[in-house]
Amino acid sequence: MRTDFVVREVATGLRRNVTMTVAMVLTTAISLLMVGTGLLAVKTIDATEAIYSDRLEIRVALTQDVSTADSGCTQPICAGLRSTLENSPLVAGVTYENQQEAYERFQELFAGQSVAELARPQSLPATLRVKLVDRDGSTEAGAAAVKQAMENQVGVRTVIDQRDVVAKLFDFLGGVRNVTFALALVQAVAALMLISNTVQVSAYTRRTEVGVMRLVGATRWYTQLPFLIEAVVTGVVGAVLAGVGLVVGKIAFIDSLLAGIAQNGVIPPVTLADVLTVSAYLVPIGALIAGITGYVTLRLYVKV
C-alpha cells in the first residue's frame, strides 16, 4: 500500500467537495456534542446519586405525645422502636433527635426567615434518624424494611424517606439526559446520511480515476480506502470540534450556571477532567461511525 498515494487522494477529495466536507464536519460535531453532553449528564447523575446515597436517611417522626414526653428516647415506646430498628441488619445506625434539637436545626436551616420565628420546639416532632446499610450500591431494601416496620406503629406519626424528595431532582436530570440523547440521535441520523451522501458524491466526482483504477487492476482497498479515510477524517475532525465545544460550553455556561449549587455540595461539579475524558471518547466514536457509514455506502451504492 502506497501511503503517499492514499494521502494525496484523500486531500484531493476533501478539497474538491469543500462545502460538503464542512457540512459533514459540522453536523457530526453537533451530533457528537450532544452525545457528549448526554454522557456528562449521566456522569453527573451517577455522582449525585453517590453523594446522596451516603447522606440520605429515613426519618421516623414520632407522635406529639411521645415527642413531648420523651426527650432522651428512654421510655418504652421510643426505646422499643429504636431497638427494633437497631436490630435490623439493614440499618447502619439510629440517632435520636428530640424536639429541642429539631428546633435548633430548624432555626439553622431557616435562619432569617419568618418561619424560624414562628416555630416552637413543641410544634416540631422528635425523630429517629435511620442510616441504612448500602447493599450492592442501593439502600432500597433497607428503606422498604424500615417503612414496613415503622408505619402504623404506636408512637409513629410518619415515616419520611428523603430519597423520595431527591428522586424528583434525579427525574429532572434524567429528563435532561433523555432529551439530549434523543436530539443526539436525530442529529446522528442526519450526520450519517450526510456522510453517506458525501461519500457518494466524492466517488462520483472521481469516477474517471476510479474507473481507471479498476481497469488497471487496483485492489478494492486501493480504490475504496481514500473514500473511507475521507469519511473517517471528517468524523475525527467533527469529534475534535465537539470536544472543543464541550470545553467551551463548560467554561462559558455550566460553570456559572452550577457554581452555587456545586459549591454547596448539592450536586458534584462538572470538572475539566470529566469533559476531557468524554471528549476523548468522542474521537474514536466519531471515527468508527463515519468509517462504518463510509464502508457500508461504498458496498451498497458505489461501484468501485
Residues 1 to 40 in contact with another protein, rule: CB under 8 A: 1-2, 4-5
Site string for another protein, 195-224 (x = CB under 8 A): -------------xx-xxxxxxxxxx-xx-
Alpha carbon distances (Å) from 164 to 52, 138, 268, 304: 12, 14, 20, 60
The amino acid sitting at 49 is E
**Closest listed residue to residue 44, CA positions, set 260, 270, 208, 201:** 270
And the C-alpha cell for 152? 402504623
Cβ 46 to another protein, closest distance in Å? 47
Cβ 200 to another protein, closest distance in Å? 20
Cβ 5 to another protein, closest distance in Å? 5
CB-based contact 142:133 (threshold 8 Å): yes
Q: Would you say 120 or 220 has its CB closer to another protein?
A: 220
Q: Would you say 4 or 136 has its CB closer to another protein?
A: 4
Q: Which residue has the cell 416532632?
A: 125
Question: Total residues contacting another protein (rule CB under 8 A)?
Answer: 18
Q: Which residue has the cell 475525527?
A: 236
Cβ 201 to another protein, closest distance in Å? 17
CB-based contact 13:304 (threshold 8 Å): no
Nearby residues of 13 by Cβ (< 8 Å), 6 or more positions away: 202, 206, 226, 227, 230
Cβ 273 to another protein, closest distance in Å? 45
Cβ neighbourhood burial of 267 (10 Å; 0-12, 13-18, 19+) = middle
Cβ 16 to another protein, closest distance in Å? 10
Q: Would you say 150 or 228 has its CB closer to another protein?
A: 228
Q: Would you say 15 or 168 has its CB closer to another protein?
A: 15
Task: Give yes or no for residue 118 binding another protein (CB under 8 A).
Answer: no
Q: Would you say 1 or 111 has its CB closer to another protein?
A: 1
The contact set with another protein (CB under 8 A) reads 1-2, 4-5, 208-209, 211-220, 222-223
